[in-house]
């Protein structure tokens, strides 16, 4: 209970008075690290899309970013399910992650690290190259 209260308080402090100005953004960019193989990936996830990284399934429910004239901050509500070796779903993270302060609400996993790097208005891979 205390941890949840601290997370909510942290969200309020980080977004401060500009939280009313934060814009809902459709795509989150995550950094993902496999600590065993040292494989580092950049993952882009649209709202309610499920993406696999190793044994993890990551879903972004909400992503908010401050407007350019405010202090830069990207905050995303992420759900992470681990299927592990037994292929049984175990929810290991459900909450807000902050790009500027990833340690405030971190994914704690023995093999994987996942963190928010940015919220984007449009997924660049959605556009085809026009020549």
Is the Cβ–Cβ distance between 79 and 89 less than 8 Å?
A: no
Is the Cβ–Cβ distance between 52 and 69 less than 8 Å?
A: no
Q: How far apart are CA 29 and CA 110, in angstroms?
A: 22
pLDDT attached to residue 67:
85
Is the Cβ–Cβ distance between 119 and 74 less than 8 Å?
A: yes
pLDDT attached to residue 13:
47
In terms of DSSP bridges, do strands 50-53 and 39-46 run parallel, antiparallel, or are they unpaired? unpaired
pTM of this prediction exceeds 0.85? no
Helices vs strands, H then E, count in the chain: 1, 8
pLDDT attached to residue 124:
52
Per-residue pLDDT of the chain (131 residues; tens, 9 = 90+): 445 544 544 544 444 444 457 789 899 999 999 999 999 999 999 999 999 999 999 999 999 998 888 888 999 999 999 999 899 999 999 999 999 998 899 898 999 999 999 998 875 555 444 44
């Amino acid at each position: 209970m205390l941890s949840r209260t601290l997370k909510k308080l942290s969200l309020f402090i980080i977004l401060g008075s500009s939280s009313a100005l934060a814009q809902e953004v459709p795509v989150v960019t995550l950094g993902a690290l496999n600590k065993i193989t040292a494989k580092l990936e950049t993952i882009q996830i649209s709202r309610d899309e499920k993406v696999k990284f190793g044994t993890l399934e990551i879903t972004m429910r909400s992503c908010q970013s401050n407007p350019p004239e405010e202090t830069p901050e990207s905050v995303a509500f992420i759900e992470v399910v681990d299927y592990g070796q037994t292929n049984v779903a175990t929810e290991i993270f459900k909450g807000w992650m902050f790009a500027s302060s990833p340690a405030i609400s971190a994914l704690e996993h023995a093999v994987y690290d996942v963190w928010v790097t940015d919220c984007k208005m449009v997924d660049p891979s959605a556009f085809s190259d026009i020549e």
